[in-house]
Structure 1
Amino acid sequence: MRYPPYLFALALTLILGGCHKEAPPPPPLQHVNAVEVQPHNVEYVFSYPGVVQGVIDYPVIPRVSGAIFKQLYKEGTLVKKDQPLYEIDRRPYLFALQNAEGQLQKDQAANDNYRIIYDRYQSLTNKDVTSVQDVNTALINYQGAAGNLKTAMANVNNAKLNLEYCTVRAPASGYISERMISEGMMVTAFQTQLNVINSRDSMYVAFSMPELDRLAIENGGLDGRYQVPKEYRFTVDLTLADGTKVPSAGKVEFRDIRVSFSDGVWQLRASIDNNALPKNKLLPGQFVHVFLRDLVVLDSFVLPQEAIFRDRDSNFVYVLDGDKIKKQKVIPGKYLLDGTQLVDAGLTAGMKVVTNGGVRIESGEQVVL
């Protein structure tokens, strides 16, 4: 069977049309986010671990030796200055007082006797009944007896004082710690520590600053790059062990005059008013995280950390040059707590820096915002 010629022409047209392919369209331009950078003042926050100390950390130490007879307080409570805390066995000191009083009575009698003898010899001097030597001897005996009497009186007062010291009293007002001894135990005067009394209102937070940070702050202030608080009186924020934040808890009020020889750190201390804290009160021995505020980096550029890249040669950022990308070498600075980073050098005002999408582009590539 023969087909009409036009069918062959139609089939040939369809075959040729199916073999022809159009060129694929060019890939879409990468979308990026960019920000125009301008220098401005930025607060930089230093952070260090710290420990809470009581402004008053008074050790309770007895002034006489003996056996603890009785405990007169409840541990962990607030005690007042001069409040009785312990009773030490008083009997040895009571007997010592009685012995001193007996010696005082003997010395008083001897003093009276030598005074009478001296007065008698003195009255007989003008009558040529006694010699000058006898008078002088009587005077010396009387003066010696008077000296013994004063010594005996001092011994009585000392015995009374020791008897009073048998009642161990609080050296200051504050919260008293757990006891370190028990009833019946022997204690030694000026050696055995019985408790510690901590202040309840004011607290210290002690922390250490590495030498490199100290030098950076000092040199930055001298160079005019940093605005440093006067006398390093930084405002202190605290973070507690459970993450609770305590903003503006206090101020740095002490900095050491030397750097530690053993570990190369600079000791600082912040003063905290416990009564002014809105919620959590600090306790001595508590560990906290210290944040030092009020240090300002002047005329600085800040970028998100993800906008700064590094190759084998240097750190760099991507900047827009028209609608194309180019690399710009930079010198990054310190990291900030909000996820951004200071840029110490390499940027100028008005540069448009790519802040998002930089991992998908290359230098010279055309992009769209």
Structure 2
Amino acid sequence: MTHLRTLLLFVLGLAAAACSSPDQSPQGQAIPVRTITVAQADIDNVLELPGRVEPVRVAEVRARVTGIVQQRLYEEGTDVGQGQPLFRIDPAELRASYAQTQASLERAKATAANANAVVQRYRPLVEENAISGQEFDAAQAAAREANANVAQIQAQLKSASLQLGYTTVRAPIAGRAGRAAVTEGALVSQPEGTLMTRIEQVSPIYVSFSQSATEVLQIRRAIAAGELALSADDAVEVRLVFPDGTEYEIPGLIEFLDFTVDEATGTIELRAEFPNPDGLLLSGEFVNARIYAGKATDVIAIPQAAVTVADSGGTVMIVDKDGKAALRPIKLGRLVGDKWVVESGLQPGDRVIVSNLQKLQPGMPVQIANTPNGRAAAPAAPAAKAD
């Protein structure tokens, strides 16, 4: 029986040893932690919003004459210059119409010249009463009608020339030409305005996004109260992050802020302009925009990892005057990058714990393992050898 009792105590001792965690610190032993010392500073006021890339200008290239497409003169998806030929429409019918109008003009000019000559011959005769005034008036009327007919046909010839020129379809703006909407042999119509292709100007390029009207109002109030400082020229910088997490290297600037609130969403539209020399930003692409709306002055910001967020607000662990961990409730403001702005609950000089938080409980003694600026403490110098 004594042997059985000894064996049972031995097994229970092993089980207790197995259940104890090596991470648990012995009672009363200080846990090493890293801390930061709270201080007021100026930080970038960064807003992160989803945005969509849009071309600066879009031109729909449509048929201005009716005819059969003879040839596509550009390469789809390439950059084209303003005025560059894109399509050729069969000009044969319009050339014939132009030639016919030109012939009518020559005939009208001949008729007008003859009518004007009659007026010149009748002028001295009517002064000598060799012909009646009625005959002279009739000759003048005929000359005026002939001259008007010449002017009318000249206008028709100009219109025919324009129509003939429209058989070469040109780019109205410089930009990137899309897919052709028609092929060779297709009939295009001027009354219907047949779409032939689209051109988008993508350098520079726009990125549009929407911001809550409430947040825009808060920013304006912060600027008015001096809590938010803009640059000297009031320029608001924007940087883009692609869906894969990489950042677009060239920053842009806000160039448009709508003053109308969308009734359906309660947001205000903003737009930034970006250089796009290499065409990396594609029209219709979704990106994340980081808007640097000035600098928040004299604020307290602490690392996100140091904050525990709950429904009631945020809490942090600090080192109290006795060198022990203490729980401190805080009021959180905006999340800027990887830091929380703290509106209340912390004062300059407080030491916030940023490591080993999972091992801490309020009242546990801690050992600060870094210098006040947050860097790791230097190792102790080796002791001098005794003589």
Instruction: Please indicate, yes or no, whether the TM-score normalized by the shorter chain is above 0.5.
Output: yes
Percent pairwise identity: 27
CA contact (8 A) 1:229 1:294 kept: no
Q: Deviations over 1:67-112 (max 9, x none)?
A: 2222122212232332221111212212221231232133223212
The question of 1:196 aligning with 2:195 is answered no
Letter in 2 for 1:152: I
Which secondary structure does the structure 1 equivalent of 2:151 belong to? helix
Q: Which residue of 1 aligns with 2:285?
A: 286
Classify the secondary structure of the residue corresponding to 2:87. strand
Shift of the 260–311 alpha-carbon distance from structure 1 to 2, 3 Å rule, reads closer
1:300, distance to aligned residue in structure 2 (A): 0.9
Q: Is the 8 A contact 2:319 2:366 kept in 1?
A: no
Residues 100 and 155 in structure 1, CA contact (< 8 A), matched pair in contact too: yes
For the residue of structure 1 that corresponds to 2:268, the secondary structure is: strand
- Note if contact 1:235-1:248 (Cα within 8 Å) is conserved in structure 2: no
**Which amino acid in 2 is paired with 1:39?**
Q
In structure 2, the CA distance between the partners of 1:362 and 1:295, relative to structure 1 (3 Å rule), is: same
- Quote the offset at 1:301 in angstroms: 0.9
**1:308 and 2:316 are equivalent in the alignment:** no
Q: Report the Cα distance in structure 1 between the residues aligned to 2:312 and 2:120, rounded to whole angstroms.
A: 108
Deviation at 1:163, TM superposition (A): 0.6
Deviation at 1:237, TM superposition (A): 1.6
CA distance in 2, matches of 1:262, 1:139: 71
Residue 367 of structure 1 pairs with residue 365 of structure 2: yes
Q: TM-score, normalised by structure 2?
A: 0.78
- The residue aligned with 2:124 is 123
> SS in structure 1 opposite 2:208?
strand
State the partner residue of 2:46.
45
Q: Could you tell me whether the CA contact under 8 Å between 2:28 and 2:364 is conserved in 1?
A: no
**3-state SS of the aligned residue for 1:59?**
strand
Distance 1:79 1:310, change over 3 A: closer
Task: Name which one, 1 or 2, has greater alpha-carbon Rg.
Answer: 1
Deviation at 1:162, TM superposition (A): 0.7
Amino acid aligned to 2:245: G
Structure 1 residue runs without a partner (length 5+): 1-25
Partner deviation per Cα, 1:48-70 (whole Å, 9 max, x = no partner)? 22222333433222322222222
Counterpart residue number, 1:177:
178
- CA spacing shift, 1:298–1:83, aligned 2, 3 Å: same
In the TM superposition, 1:290-369 aligns within 5 A as 290-293=289-292, 295-309=294-308, 315-323=314-322, 324-338=324-338, 340-358=339-357, 363=362, 365-369=363-367
Contact map agreement 1:37 1:349 (CA 8 A) in 2? yes
The AA in structure 2 aligned to 1:28 is: G
User: What residue identity is the alignment partner of 1:308?
Assistant: V
Contact 1:253 1:269 in 2 (8 A): yes
| Secondary structure, counterpart of 1:298 in structure 2 | strand
Amino acid in the other structure paired with 1:195? T
Distance 2:84 2:358 in 1: 70
Letter in 2 for 1:130: I
2:88 aligned partner: 87
Aligned equivalents of 1:134 and 1:46: distance in 2?
A: 88
Secondary structure of 1:303's match? strand
The residue number in structure 1 matching 2:370 is: none
**Equivalent-residue separation in structure 1 for 2:70 and 2:361 (angstroms):** 84
- CA separation in 2, counterparts of 1:92 and 1:231? 59
Alignment of 1:150-189 (within 5 A): 150-189=151-190
The answer to whether residue 213 in structure 2 is matched with residue 211 in structure 1 is yes
TM superposition shift of 1:274: 2.1
Tell me the residue number matched to 1:16: none
Structure 1 residue 143: deviation in Å? 1.0
| CA pair 351-243 structure 1, distance change in 2 beyond 3 A | closer
Task: State the AA in 2 paired with 1:293.
Answer: Y
Structure 1 residue 201: deviation in Å? 3.8
- Which residue does the alignment assign to 1:242? 244
| Cα distance, 1:366 vs structure 2 | 4.4
Q: Which residue of 1 aligns with 2:72?
A: 71
1:273, 1:306 → 2: CA distance? 36
- 2:28·2:365 contact (CA, 8 Å) conserved in 1? no
Q: Check the 8 A contact 2:250/2:274 in 1, yes or no.
A: no
- In the aligned structure 1, how far is the partner of 2:351 from the partner of 2:288? 37
Per-residue CA deviations over 1:264-294 (Å, capped at 9, x if unaligned) read 322222222223x6xx722333332211125
CA distance in 2: counterparts of 1:207 and 1:77, whole angstroms: 28
Is this contact kept in 2: 1:80–1:170, CA < 8 A?
yes
Query: How far is the alpha carbon of 1:327 from its aligned partner?
Result: 4.3
Using the alignment, how far apart are the partners of 2:327 and 2:253 within structure 1?
Answer: 44
Shift of residue 39, structure 1, vs aligned partner? 0.9
Q: CA deviation at 1:309?
A: 4.0
How has the CA–CA distance of structure 1 residues 312 and 236 changed in structure 2, closer, same or farther, with 3 Å as cutoff?
closer
**1:336 CA drift (Å):** 2.4
Q: RMSD across aligned C-alpha pairs, in angstroms?
A: 2.6
Does the Cα contact within 8 Å between 2:202 and 2:283 map onto a contact in 1?
Answer: no
Q: Which whole-Å CA distance do the structure 1 matches of 2:365 and 2:137 have between them?
A: 120
Amino acid at match of 2:276: N
Task: Assess if the C-alpha contact under 8 Å between 1:332 and 1:343 holds in 2.
Answer: yes
Q: Return the alpha-carbon distance in structure 1 between the equivalents of residues 92 and 79 of structure 2.
A: 30
1:120 is paired with a residue whose SS is helix
Is the 1:67–1:89 Cα contact (8 Å) retained in structure 2?
yes
Distance 1:164 1:134 in 2: 45
TM-score (norm. length: structure 1): 0.82
Q: What residue number does 2:28 align with?
A: 28
Contact 1:30/1:361 (8 A) holds in 2: no
